[in-house]
Amino acid sequence: MPERVLLARHAQAEWNVEGRLHGQRDSPLTREGIAQAARLADSLAPYGVSMVFSSPLGRALRTAVIIAERLGTEIVEMPELAELDLGDMAGMTRPEIEQAFPGAREERAENRYGWAFPGGESYAQARGRARAALSACGWEADGLPLIVSHEMIGRMLRAELRGLNPAETLELRHPLGTAFDINGRAEHMV
């Protein structure tokens, strides 16, 4: 596992604006999202990124391509960096989920870390994918790697890098089109 990583969340996509949960489904970046990715690339330029690792999902991969082109680095797609699988809830808004899955919100609140989305996965299950992705990044990157992924799997990546417990992990937030410089237990927004 790399000791130091830059971790970016993809830029704004259409479903982010509509309030739809993506999971492993996709929607394209908005105009603002494309601009966010370009600004993020500019802010990452001084860091000397050696390689960009990206989720294969379109919104993350498009963000990664914009960044990699500006930084002149190679991109490696990693399936393990895909967002949590939200199963049957993917593509829905919160009100649609309330209607289609009555009581699911309360059920999830009881064990948010271990609760699996219907037909999908839990945070606990996704943490293994995060660990595998970080291990691969550590072996493949010479220098400082940039990982471009998503908010939910990003929580698991940060938890693995920083040694956080489930409660600390679920408190983490990562705004669209931003990156963290993570070095050991410390992190700061770029």
Q: Look-up: residue for tokens 């993809």?
A: 10
Measured CA to CA, the distance from residue 121 to residue 142 in angstroms comes to: 32
- The one catalytic residue among 10, 22, 150, 174: 10
- The one catalytic residue among 22, 80, 83, 160: 83
Measured CA to CA, the distance from residue 121 to residue 124 in angstroms comes to: 8
83 is catalytic: yes
- Three-state SS letters, 38-52: HHHHHHHHHHCEEEE
Closest CA to 120 of 89, 157, 155: 89
Q: Distance between the two ends of the chain, CA-based, in angstroms?
A: 21
Structure tokens at 80: 């393990």
14 is catalytic: no
- Which positions are catalytic? 10, 83
